[in-house]
Structures are given as C-alpha cells and as structure tokens.
Amino acid sequence: MFRHFPTKQLLVEATIVRHLTQLTDTARARGEGGEAGAAFRMTFREMVSGAPANLALVALMAESADPAGATDEVEAAASALRDAVEVLLSRGQEAGEVRADATVAEVYVLIRALANARGDRAVVARAIDMVLDGLSPRRSE
C-alpha cells in the first residue's frame, strides 16, 4: 500500500481519513435507524474502542508532519464525524434517552479520557458502562 503514497505522512493521513469516514458513515446509518439512544451508545463505544489505534496514527502523523499540522482532509473527516455524533446526541436527547444537558464537547472529553485509559479490558469496559449510565437521562428531567 505504501508504494501508492509518495510519503509516509500521506499514507498515515489517508488511513486516518478512511477510519474517520467509516466511523462517520456508521454513525449516520445508525442515526437513520429506530432507537436514538442505542445508536448514540453504540457509536460512543465504537469510538472509545477504536480510539487507541486512531491515536497511534495521529502520533505517527505528528512525527512525520510538517509544523502546519493536520491536512484539510483530516480536519474535514474529523469535523464530519463530530457532526454525526452531535446529530446522534441530539436525537438521543430528543427521544429522552440521553441526558438533555450533555454537549458534544463533553462527550468528546469522555471519549478521549476513556480511550486513553490503561488497564484491564474488563475494567475499562465497566468504566464505559458507568460513563454511559451517567449520560442517561436524570430522573428529574
């Protein structure tokens, strides 16, 4: 595959864009389905579980990148995913299946924190469950 890309950085960027695009497509498809809360939770879990590989790619990109940072393609793919997550979050909130005061910025903080968690997989999986419980509607809502 590398022979089709003139530099390592372009290969890594293309891989990141592909990964983000797949997540976006999956999130959008889930958003068209029936259960808004379930769609949000499945996407949240998928983003946390796929994030370590994505973070490794971003680190590789940073090693070989020029000081300008991410390309427009990477930024556009990341923005499209964030938009798709925001739609899922809004739909989950409208359906009363996700707490109404959660923002996409807060959701991304939680995803990043869980993605960087070290330790036993079962412990991290339980932590994801606990965070998703915290994103459930509060009884007073």
- Tens digits of per-residue pLDDT, 27-60? 999 988 778 999 999 999 999 887 666 666 665 5
Position 138 pLDDT exceeds 90:
no
Burial class (CB in 10 A: 0-12, 13-18, 19+), 23: buried
Assign 109 a pLDDT band (cuts: 50, 70, 90).
Answer: very high
Position 63 scores a pLDDT of: 58
pTM over 0.95: no
pLDDT for position 14: 86
